Every structure is written in structure tokens, then in C-alpha cells.
């Protein structure tokens, strides 16, 4: 799962909030789908720019993520680079597009674990739950401060 940070949690929450408030959502549009909306938040690019960047290569986000190459110079790969620099992985993004990360699904309320990847309300729930998990991880990190590496891995000094 993503490398957590307050910045990433805020971006995911902002994306969920924008969608919940009725932002244009269209799963078949590379700039208005699940990943497209998070890309808008992180890159501050509009949906048209993101969609246009994706048209340099074929496929939806899942296919583009499989073909991702940080040295390609392709516009969508540069957008993906920015998203990765925020702590995301290509697996995180592929899971977001299909709402399929097992840890996120397990954290959903029992009656809501069968999400449809192209329903706005399911995307909002997934993003909110994912942000909660990352925030929990972030809150637990300070408890490790002051512990040396040797202590963390169980070596007596």
C-alpha cells in the first residue's frame, strides 16, 4: 500500500469530497474516472489535460499502468510519476481504478464490501476508507520516534 503522508491523505480526502459534492464523474473518461480524479487533485491538471495525455497510448488506466515506464517521456507517464512521488504505487492506482485493494475492502462496513468500480458513491466510500487506513498508519508512525533501528529489529545494543 502507499507510503503514507499527511499530504497524500489530504489529497485522497479532497478527491472523495469533490466527488461526493457532485464533480463530473465518468468512469470511461481518463480524466474523470477514479484515477483521473485523484490525478486532478495531485497534479492540479484539468480532466481534459489528463485525458489528452492518456490518448498518446492505448488502453484504460489499468492497461496504461501495466505499460508505465518512468523514462518514456509520455505525458500520462509523467502524470503517473507525479502520483508516485506522493507515495502511491502503480498497484495502488490499479486497485483504485477497480476499487479492489483487499486491505481497503476488508476495512469497509460488512454490508458494503461489494463495490462497483464505476459508481460514484462506491468510489467515494473506497477513497474515504483508504484515507482512513493511511491516516491510521500515519498516526501510528510517531510512536516509533525515538526508537533506534537496532531496537526496531530486535537487536540488543
CA distances for 157 relative to 47, 75, 151, angstroms: 54, 50, 8
Question: 1 in a domain, yes or no?
Answer: no
Question: 157 in a domain, yes or no?
Answer: no
Please give the tally of structural domains in the chain.
Answer: 1
Residue 153: the pLDDT is: 38
Question: 94 in a domain, yes or no?
Answer: yes
Residue 140: the pLDDT is: 81
Question: 64 in a domain, yes or no?
Answer: yes
Q: Note the pLDDT tens digit of each residue in 70-119.
A: 999 899 999 999 999 999 999 999 999 999 999 999 999 999 999 999 99
Q: How far apart are CA 107 and CA 57, in angstroms?
A: 35
State the alpha helices, DSSP H only, in 1-156. 6-20, 34-43, 47-54, 61-67, 75-85, 90-98, 102-107, 120-140, 149-152
Question: 14 in a domain, yes or no?
Answer: yes
How many residues in total does the chain contain? 157
Question: 28 in a domain, yes or no?
Answer: yes
Question: 25 in a domain, yes or no?
Answer: yes
- As a whole number, mean pLDDT of residues 132-153 equals 64
State the alpha helices, DSSP H only, in 44-119. 47-54, 61-67, 75-85, 90-98, 102-107
Question: 105 in a domain, yes or no?
Answer: yes
For residues 124 and 61, which has the higher predicted lDDT (pLDDT)?
Answer: 124
What range defines the domain where residue 26 resides? Answer: 6-152
pTM of the model: 0.86
CA 37 to chain centroid, in Å, comes to: 10
Residue 16: the pLDDT is: 98
Q: Taking 90 as the threshold, does the pLDDT of residue 133 lie above it?
A: yes
Q: Note the pLDDT tens digit of each residue in 3-47.
A: 888 999 999 999 999 999 999 999 889 899 999 999 999 999 999
Amino acid at each position: 500500500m502507499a507510503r503514507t503522508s499527511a499530504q497524500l491523505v489530504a489529497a485522497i480526502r479532497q478527491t472523495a469530497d469533490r466527488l461526493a459534492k457532485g464533480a463530473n464523474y465518468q468512469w470511461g473518461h481518463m480524466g474523470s474516472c477514479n484515477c483521473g480524479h485523484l490525478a486532478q487533485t495531485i497534479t492540479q491538471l484539468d480532466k481534459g489535460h489528463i485525458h489528452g495525455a492518456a490518448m498518446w497510448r492505448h488502453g484504460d488506466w489499468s492497461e496504461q499502468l501495466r505499460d508505465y515506464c518512468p523514462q518514456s517521456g509520455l505525458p500520462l507517464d509523467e502524470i503517473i510519476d507525479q502520483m508516485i512521488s506522493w507515495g502511491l504505487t502503480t498497484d495502488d492506482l490499479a486497485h483504485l481504478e477497480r476499487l479492489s485493494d483487499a486491505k481497503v475492502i476488508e476495512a469497509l462496513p460488512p454490508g458494503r464490501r461489494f463495490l462497483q468500480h464505476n459508481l460514484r458513491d462506491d468510489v467515494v466510500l473506497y477513497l474515504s476508507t483508504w484515507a482512513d487506513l493511511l491516516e491510521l498508519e500515519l498516526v501510528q508512525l510517531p510512536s516509533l520516534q525515538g526508537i533506534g533501528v537496532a531496537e526496531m529489529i530486535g537487536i540488543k545494543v
